[in-house]
Structure 1
Amino acid sequence: MTKIDFQQYVTEGFFDETFDNDKQVRPHYALFIDRLKKMGLKKLNLLQHSTDRVQMSLGMTFNVYSDNQGIERILHLDIIPRIINGQDWDFLEKGLKQRIQAMNLFIDDIYNDQKILKDKIIPKELIFSSSTYLKQCIGLKPPKGVWIHITGTDIIRGGDGAYYVLEDNLRCPSGVSYMLENREILKRSFPEVFEKLNVRPVYDYTHYLRDMLESLSPVAPASIAVLTPGIYNSAYFEHAYLAQQMGAELVEGRDLVVKNDFVYKITTKGLKRVDVIYRRVDDDFIDPEVFRPDSLLGTPGLFRAYLKGNVVLVNAPGTGVADDKAVYAYVPEIIKYYLGEEMILPNVQTYICDRKDDQKYVIENIADLVVKQTDASGGYGMLIGPKSTKEEQAEFIQKIKKNPRNYIAQPTINLSRVPTLTEEGIEGRHVDLRPYILYGSEMKIIPGALTRVALKKGSLVVNSSQGGGSKDTWVVDNL
């Protein structure tokens, strides 16, 4: 048996979540690391191989539109879980609740009274120039005053070990199905240690999701549908999985029809009314009568039925303005303005290229910064300065000068690392964290998250579309 001893495991230069600088195991990892050492590398590799097979058999695949090797692949699940102690998690939960509450008030304000703009806390040009600010939503009051029902906030740990919010995902955040399925696989892989650690459960997410959706319905019992763009969407597995787990209908835009401002599903037995739609279709495509007229993914009249209060859309249209990476830079001010509180969970320092001084700093220091397109996601539209060429830097400088509103920059942060099984053995790989927050009549944060891991050695990019994988996230209370 090839032993696992971690003698060659490198921790220098990074914050490692499992080992401290003296190579001592952090207390919340001790039981699991002891189990790994007793198991041996051969058994661990066998477990990893069986995990890959289970993922494929379950259909846990996603599509990569730019991949010429074939459009479907599994989101690689690394067999070694990421473990977070309960005290840290409780801090994250407190910070996330504050953030979501403030962001919800902000979205409601900018589509209604616009007090924050009148008080010049945020430049009105920043909001009105955002491609995700929808004029069609001005004056909108969603059910119970909630705009952002489902959030997947991206969190990182820096070299100082502190947690930071990297970005907000307030439109159609993906990945929760992988969090749930990863847990099912991992607890079968390590049943004894899982039980001993008393890991906080995540299995009830879909129950909470269904309860939240029903709480928003104008009628009871509610008829719920999950609106998907279809089988070729990168997250189709998730759409089908969540619909099945909730006992909801999985529909495409063509399966729905609007009559007398009510939404119905077309069935073989006639029309069936739909009360709540958990949409996984972006704003621009949900209704060709109001947004993009060329959309084949939505349903004509859907937005009109929503405005009449005859159907609930989750998340509410228009929330994407708060996903704008330039708006992200103002979240500390947003929290202070609406809640009168200091931010609990800090942002990463952000330079807005539309500001003259910020732009000058970014251009002069582009080799050390991460530059991001304000309306892009999935790891696209981004330059990682220290890993870029002079030509790539020059290209981004021209883009910034041409359209400064479209770019922000942040310091390059060495994301924390956790042990990951590689072809060379167990090595540290960079990770981020995506917790999921549900907001209906109350706010609920599931005590677990999707950990995304950069599988390529040295890479800081964890996005699945850029070759990243995932880990199960165990929240454990101090033993």
Structure 2
Amino acid sequence: MASETSTAPRSRGGDGAPDRLSRWLADYRPLPGAPDELFDAAGRPREHWMAFLREFAGYADADSDGRFGMAARHIRDSGASYRIYGEETERSWPLDPLPLIIPQAEWDQIAAGVAQRAELMEAILADVYGEGRLVSDGILPAAVVTGSPDFLRAMRGVAPPAGRYLQIYAADLGRGPDGRWWVLEDRAQAPSGAGYALENRLVVSRAYPNLYNTLNVHRLAPFFDALRRGLAATADRSEPRICLLSPGPFSQTYFEQAHLARYLGFLLVEGDDLVARDGKVWVRTIAGLKRADVILRRVDADFLDPLELNAASRLGTPGMLEAIRAGGVKVLNMPGSGLVESRALMSFAPGLSERLLGEPLKLPNIATWWCGQASEQALVERRLDELAIAPAFQNAGLFNSPRLPAELSREDKAALRQRMADRPGDFVGQEVAHLSTMPVLRDGRLQPAPFTLRVFAAMTPEGVRILPGGFCRTSDRPDARVISMGEGARTADVWVLDDKPVERLSLIASGDEVKVRRILGHLPSRAADNLFWLGRYIERTEATLRLVRALCSSLMDSESSLHGRGQTFESLRGVLVDWGTLDGKARPARALDSARDALHDANAWGSVTYLVRSAKRTASGMRERLSADFWGLLVDLEGDLAGGANEIHSEAQALEQVERALRHIAGLAGLTQENMNRVAGWRFLDMGRRIERGANTCQLARTLAHDAATIDDLDLLLDLNDSQITYRARYLVGLALNAVRDLVMLDPFNTRSVAFQVAALRDHLAVLPTLQEDGILETPSKILLPLAAELETEDAAKLHADKVLAYEGALMRLSNAVADRFFLQGANAVPTVKLVGLA
């Protein structure tokens, strides 16, 4: 809509900025009947939006696209993603270039309203799980409480941490028809989105740093600092161990959980990582059980404890509720707090505010009528075609989002009426909410998009703290009434503009607050397991790529030679079959087919594509422990392989793909060696690589350095072991069997030899913690030390196939022993030896 205001577009940008801004405003058409953020009710553009758009229009199209393209690459490289329920693959995080902009005066009203609502929900929970006066005095019908699946009778009378049931509260907001902000939904179970809000801010502020600083946008860091201090204040110890309990990598918001845990310094755990015992909760780590003081949960309460709640749950920890009742762990938000999310309770919120807080709601919610009351049920039936019908309670087994009976078929409408007549207390009627709109940039034009704003409140030692921003979701559908992260949904950063320059703060603590430490760290067993297997997958990928490279190179160099077609080629293909890279039953007509299948057969568990996907899947389960550079390289490697099978028509093309993939692997190895701290996590990743490399080398030596080995066999073995240069520099004569055996198996100075891998493994085990106090060697050391001694004293001339096979078997036993000693063996398993260091 073209503005009739006298406010003329001004810009300090390039020459085309005024024209671009005028075109944007002239083309913008707010949706009929929906409040809009850019234009007010009189059709005038709001000044705070004009201040942003004048500056934003100053970016040339190419500059703007380039800046946000760089931000989009950051999203990809950091792995920012989400998952739609029921889908196996993650989706890249959809972020709009334009933020939602809110001026300080308006934000003050929002913050005050959300803070009040957080206190109201806290007061409701304190009564429901305490004295129960609201029900006994007839203020709140008992069915509103007991009818909710989120009401946990087991939590009645249990003292909440630091006297509060809610540590984090969130409200979904939208503008009502009168232009005021209204509460659409309350979030108190395990509110998500704060981590995504943090990621959105990181991306957008990097894309437009000058604009971000010029407009005095409020920083988010102080809120997260206050949140962390608030969580720590609930614990019994001065230096508590705070865990973020995640449903796991298949959670719809797993990236956000990992991002938040990394940013705040929390330990990201899953239910299997925890053990409830003796009235406390412990984290299973490689050093034994370590106490969990505070748990910020992202698992719904019903799934927390399969002993007392949902017996089918695999996300929680048996005995968790008993530990909460004993006061041995602080779980936040308190289990049962999801009760206040019910729409049935929303209908009583105005009266409850007057009763409990002595004041009216500062932010009204959608007009709601609970059908569990006769008069309200009759009203909803009379106005059925005017209202939206929604479930009264969360997780009630009904449809999730509100339905409009006026838009249903005759049969569906009759069925809905019958269900409402049979169980009226399961339903509410609500005024139809038409979401307000905000400007988004689509194909170089400003367009209105419906949006919702989630605002977060944290309980801190200084009181309620509101995140100066929030989690904004937009929809491409102009008639959207509810927005979830599905088809057509995107997100936007939220900028709260201060009237004065904003102080730049971060999470840096003073020197007196932090005690300096130099320790391995208490690595959770699951993380150690994932890192170990990530190392094995990466090493197996490299070894397979080297095999395929040797295959392609030999075909190109001497198609008719023994190396290319005869015994050596068959040995090479035999190893690929043994590794699950090729199908041993199907014999390809051409060697090129073998190379293509080895690279791209996604159904073969040993193919390069399969291994890379396995490595990425494993890495995604511990994203908080990997750098963005590491993740980005892994994503690039997978992307480079995707669809590559159609690009291979010759050995040269296959070889080119192999070389690119090996460069990615080299980059991952470099980041591992040069960028990862030498703590327990790095050691397990490196141990996985060393065991895999040692076992692979043993198999290759058995296959190619046997007693009847040919020159081609030995030459290929040196290629696969990356030891050609070393051998040529050391031996001026030709290839000799014993010299090659010694170099690839026994030489402690060759970084690719089995002896070198075993020595590195011995160093790792020497540093890792032990669980026994009697001084007796643990099983991994009992396997490794004799192997190391034998390799140090072995003679290459006596290194026959059966002895190499014994070394390979010892490495596989070591792998199993490491898993038995350090990794999880069940939801509530503990080591069979005495646990030490229970702190």
TM-score scaled by length of structure 2: 0.54
| Counterparts of residues 388-399 of structure 1 (less than 5 Å) | 388-399=408-419
339-348 or 145-154, larger mean C-alpha shift = 339-348
Q: CA deviation at 1:424?
A: 7.6
462-471 or 185-194, larger mean C-alpha shift = 462-471
Deviations 1:114-134, CA, capped at 9 Å, x for gaps: 111121111122212222111
| Counterparts of residues 77-156 of structure 1 (less than 5 Å) | 77-156=95-174
Runs (4+) of structure 1 exceeding 6 A deviation are: none
Distance in 2 (alpha carbons) for counterparts of 1:199 and 1:326: 37
Letter in 1 for 2:266: A
Deviations 1:39-62, CA, capped at 9 Å, x for gaps: 355554554544433222222111
Q: Indicate yes or no: 2:82 matched with 1:62.
A: yes
Q: Indicate yes or no: 2:73 matched with 1:53.
A: yes
48-57 or 5-14, larger mean C-alpha shift = 48-57
Structure 2 segments unaligned to the other structure (5+ residues): 1-15, 501-839
Q: Indicate yes or no: 2:434 matched with 1:417.
A: no
Report the counterpart of residue 797 of structure 2 in structure 1.
none
Whether the 8 Å CA contact 1:75–1:464 is kept in 2: the answer is: no
Letter in 2 for 1:457: P
Q: CA deviation at 1:66?
A: 3.7
Letter in 2 for 1:419: P
Structure with bigger gyration radius: 2
Higher relative contact order (CA 8 A, sep 6+): 1
268-277 or 189-198, larger mean C-alpha shift = 189-198
Distance in 2 (alpha carbons) for counterparts of 1:453 and 1:297: 31
Report the counterpart of residue 479 of structure 2 in structure 1.
458
Q: CA deviation at 1:366?
A: 3.4
Letter in 2 for 1:453: T
Counterpart selection for 1:324 from 339, 342, 352: 342
Distance in 1 (alpha carbons) for counterparts of 2:139 and 2:382: 28
Letter in 2 for 1:286: L
155-164 or 374-383, larger mean C-alpha shift = 374-383
Q: Indicate yes or no: 2:244 matched with 1:240.
A: no
Q: CA deviation at 1:73?
A: 1.0
Distance in 2 (alpha carbons) for counterparts of 1:204 and 1:302: 32
Report the counterpart of residue 684 of structure 2 in structure 1.
none
Distance in 1 (alpha carbons) for counterparts of 2:393 and 2:61: 43
31-40 or 224-233, larger mean C-alpha shift = 31-40
Whether the 8 Å CA contact 2:434–2:479 is kept in 1: the answer is: no
Letter in 2 for 1:362: V
Q: Indicate yes or no: 2:450 matched with 1:430.
A: yes
Deviations 1:103-156, CA, capped at 9 Å, x for gaps: 212111111211111211111222122221111011111122100111111111
Q: Indicate yes or no: 2:395 matched with 1:408.
A: no
Letter in 2 for 1:8: D
Distance in 2 (alpha carbons) for counterparts of 1:56 and 1:97: 35
* Local SS of the residue matching 1:415: coil
| Counterparts of residues 295-314 of structure 1 (less than 5 Å) | 295-314=313-332
Q: CA deviation at 1:389?
A: 4.9
216-225 or 33-42, larger mean C-alpha shift = 33-42
Whether the 8 Å CA contact 1:463–1:469 is kept in 2: the answer is: no
| Counterparts of residues 142-221 of structure 1 (less than 5 Å) | 142-221=160-239
Q: CA deviation at 1:282?
A: 1.0
Letter in 2 for 1:220: S
Whether the 8 Å CA contact 2:162–2:233 is kept in 1: the answer is: no
Q: CA deviation at 1:71?
A: 3.2
* Local SS of the residue matching 1:14: coil
Distance in 1 (alpha carbons) for counterparts of 2:423 and 2:71: 45
Distance in 1 (alpha carbons) for counterparts of 2:499 and 2:409: 45
Letter in 1 for 2:96: D
Q: CA deviation at 1:464?
A: 1.0
Report the counterpart of residue 225 of structure 1 in structure 2.
243
Distance in 1 (alpha carbons) for counterparts of 2:345 and 2:62: 49
Report the counterpart of residue 523 of structure 2 in structure 1.
none
Root mean square deviation of aligned Cα: 2.3
35-44 or 160-169, larger mean C-alpha shift = 35-44
Whether the 8 Å CA contact 2:149–2:394 is kept in 1: the answer is: no
Instruction: Return closer, same or farther for 1:462/1:46 CA change in 2, 3 Å cut-off.
Output: farther
Whether the 8 Å CA contact 1:200–1:475 is kept in 2: the answer is: yes
Whether the 8 Å CA contact 1:367–1:393 is kept in 2: the answer is: no
Report the counterpart of residue 475 of structure 1 in structure 2.
496
Distance in 1 (alpha carbons) for counterparts of 2:43 and 2:67: 26
Letter in 2 for 1:473: V
* Local SS of the residue matching 2:219: coil
Report the counterpart of residue 39 of structure 2 in structure 1.
19
Report the counterpart of residue 281 of structure 1 in structure 2.
299
325-334 or 38-47, larger mean C-alpha shift = 38-47
Q: CA deviation at 1:23?
A: 4.1
Distance in 1 (alpha carbons) for counterparts of 2:211 and 2:379: 50
352-361 or 79-88, larger mean C-alpha shift = 352-361
Distance in 2 (alpha carbons) for counterparts of 1:366 and 1:36: 46
Distance in 1 (alpha carbons) for counterparts of 2:373 and 2:435: 27
Distance in 2 (alpha carbons) for counterparts of 1:209 and 1:337: 29
Deviations 1:75-99, CA, capped at 9 Å, x for gaps: 3111111100111111111112222
* Local SS of the residue matching 1:452: strand
* Count, aligned residues: 477
* Local SS of the residue matching 1:173: coil
Counterpart selection for 1:8 from 5, 19, 27: 27
Q: Indicate yes or no: 2:56 matched with 1:36.
A: yes
* Local SS of the residue matching 1:469: strand
Deviations 1:334-377, CA, capped at 9 Å, x for gaps: 21111211211111111212233333333443333222212347
Whether the 8 Å CA contact 2:150–2:394 is kept in 1: the answer is: no
Letter in 2 for 1:294: A
Deviations 1:402-435, CA, capped at 9 Å, x for gaps: 3222211211122221111224832101111111
Distance in 2 (alpha carbons) for counterparts of 1:209 and 1:456: 35
* Local SS of the residue matching 2:493: strand
TM-score scaled by length of structure 1: 0.93
Deviations 1:422-457, CA, capped at 9 Å, x for gaps: 248321011111111111432111111111111223
Structure 1 segments unaligned to the other structure (5+ residues): none
Report the counterpart of residue 315 of structure 1 in structure 2.
333
Distance in 2 (alpha carbons) for counterparts of 1:326 and 1:333: 13
Distance in 1 (alpha carbons) for counterparts of 2:290 and 2:464: 30
